[in-house]
């Protein structure tokens, strides 16, 4: 079995590459000249040099591939157009490059719960998608591009992903280690997923005939408020009584907008941006994983407590905490 992976040098993608190798896949990874290869250095993979925003560089990328795992995405930007270009346009370029690859058995697109939009109830895949952020909108429009492509596809919608090598939630781990954390908004229900559980689900969904042409939520078993999640992270760090400072979104938004303006001046982008505050301001982010359980046996192997413990241990060993 031969697999092509985009986003292979990132947090989730690097974990996926290792699982694919362990499962006997020959793996090709798309890398840019500027890619940091630290997480896949030394692994038996074939490197394909290209850029999703440069269609000409993608010629021949799908040659010989049986499975394509598309994880590359733009997670942070300044305006709507950034997210559209980094997700929708980039994916359309990849799909066109793959259009002549007749041997592809499955194209797996890693979307996001943000594409479906918020919900207090366990939202199902059949319900109307109502994204509230530019990122969520871009992921949904990318899903639509995949559905129109004519390729045999499966789409997965995970919530927030955590685990070793994650640099996004690290901010909260570092803050809580000092005994406090700021919380802009407080969704009543959130779900997250440990990275190892997610990448196993990605591969399992690709190998199942039942998942062809379908979309699935995949998430950890536990659901709780955002505040309770922060307290669980603190507990994993050995902090029993953290100070959770709740900030009303109407106060946070002007500050974050100014911060985003400064980032734009220096041509940088941060996860602390108005788009992310829109998501945190929602009442809940719940979803149902029943379809994934039924169709390809999705069952998270890690409880939240186990996943957080392994994450903290990795952060400490890596010197990130």
Q: Is residue 252 part of a domain?
A: no
Counted domains in the chain: 1
Q: Is residue 207 part of a domain?
A: yes
Q: Is residue 309 part of a domain?
A: no
Within 13 Å and on the Cβ side, how many CA atoms surround 129?
Answer: 22
Q: Is residue 277 part of a domain?
A: no
Taking only the tens of pLDDT, the chain with its 321 residues reads 999 999 999 999 999 999 999 999 999 999 999 999 999 999 999 999 999 999 999 999 999 999 999 999 998 887 899 999 999 999 999 999 999 777 899 999 999 999 999 999 999 999 999 999 999 999 999 999 999 999 999 999 999 999 999 999 999 999 999 999 988 877 899 999 999 999 999 999 999 999 999 999 999 999 999 999 999 999 999 999 999 988 877 666 665 655 555 566 656 665 566 777 778 888 999 999 999 999 999 999 999 999 999 999 999 999 999
Output the pLDDT for position 257.
58
Q: Is residue 298 part of a domain?
A: yes
Output the pLDDT for position 266.
58
Domain CATH for 90: 3.40.50.720
Q: Is residue 253 part of a domain?
A: no
Output the pLDDT for position 77.
82
Output the pLDDT for position 313.
98
Q: Which two tokens stand for residue 165?
A: 């090598």
* Ranges assigned E (strand) in the chain: 2-6, 26-31, 45-49, 67-70, 106-110, 153-157, 160-162, 180-184, 189-190, 192-194, 214-217, 243-247, 284-285
Helix (H/G/I), strand (E/B), else coil: 232: helix
Output the pLDDT for position 78.
77
What DSSP letter does each residue of 234-247 carry, written as one string?
Answer: HHHTT-SS-EEEEE
Q: Is residue 237 part of a domain?
A: no
Q: Are 163 and 310 in contact (CB under 8 A)?
A: yes
Domain that holds residue 33: 2-161+193-220+286-302
Residues 6+ apart with CB under 8 A from 119: 127, 284, 285, 286, 287
Q: Is residue 85 part of a domain?
A: yes
Residues 6+ apart with CB under 8 A from 229: 190, 192
Bridge partners, residue 201, by sequence: none
The reported pTM is 0.94
Report the number of secondary-structure helices (H) and strands (E) in the chain: 12, 13
Output the pLDDT for position 271.
59
């Amino acid at each position: 079995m031969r697999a092509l992976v985009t986003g292979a040098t990132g947090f989730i993608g690097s974990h996926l590459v290792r699982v694919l190798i362990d499962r006997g896949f020959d793996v090709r990874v798309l890398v840019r000249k500027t890619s940091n290869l630290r997480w896949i250095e030394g692994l038996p993979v074939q490197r394909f040099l290209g850029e999703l925003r440069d269609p000409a560089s993608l010629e021949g990328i799908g040659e010989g591939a049986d499975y394509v795992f598309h994880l590359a995405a733009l997670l942070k930007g300044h305006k709507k157009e950034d997210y559209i270009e980094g997700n929708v346009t980039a994916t359309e370029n990849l799909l066109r490059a793959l259009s002549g690859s007749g041997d592809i058995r499955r194209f797996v697109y890693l979307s996001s719960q943000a594409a479906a939009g918020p919900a207090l109830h366990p939202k199902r895949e059949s319900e109307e998608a109502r994204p509230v952020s530019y990122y969520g909108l871009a992921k949904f429009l990318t899903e639509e591009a995949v559905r129109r492509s004519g390729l045999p596809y499966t789409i997965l919608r995970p919530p927030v992903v955590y685990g070793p090598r994650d640099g996004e939630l690290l901010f909260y781990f570092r803050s809580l280690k000092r005994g406090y954390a700021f919380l802009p908004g407080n969704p009543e229900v959130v779900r997250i997923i440990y990275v190892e559980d997610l990448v196993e689900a990605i591969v399992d969904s690709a190998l199942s005939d039942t998942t062809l042409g379908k979309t699935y939520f995949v998430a950890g078993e536990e659901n709780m408020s955002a505040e309770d999640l922060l307290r669980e992270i603190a507990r994993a760090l050995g902090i029993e009584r953290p100070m959770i400072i709740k900030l009303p979104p109407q106060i946070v938004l002007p500050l974050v907008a100014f911060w985003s303006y400064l980032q734009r001046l220096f041509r940088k982008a941060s996860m602390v941006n108005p788009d992310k505050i829109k998501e945190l301001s929602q009442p809940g982010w719940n979803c149902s994983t029943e379809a994934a359980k039924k169709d390809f046996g999705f069952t998270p192997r890690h409880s939240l407590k186990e996943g957080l413990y392994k994450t903290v241990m990795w952060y400490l060993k890596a010197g990130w905490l």
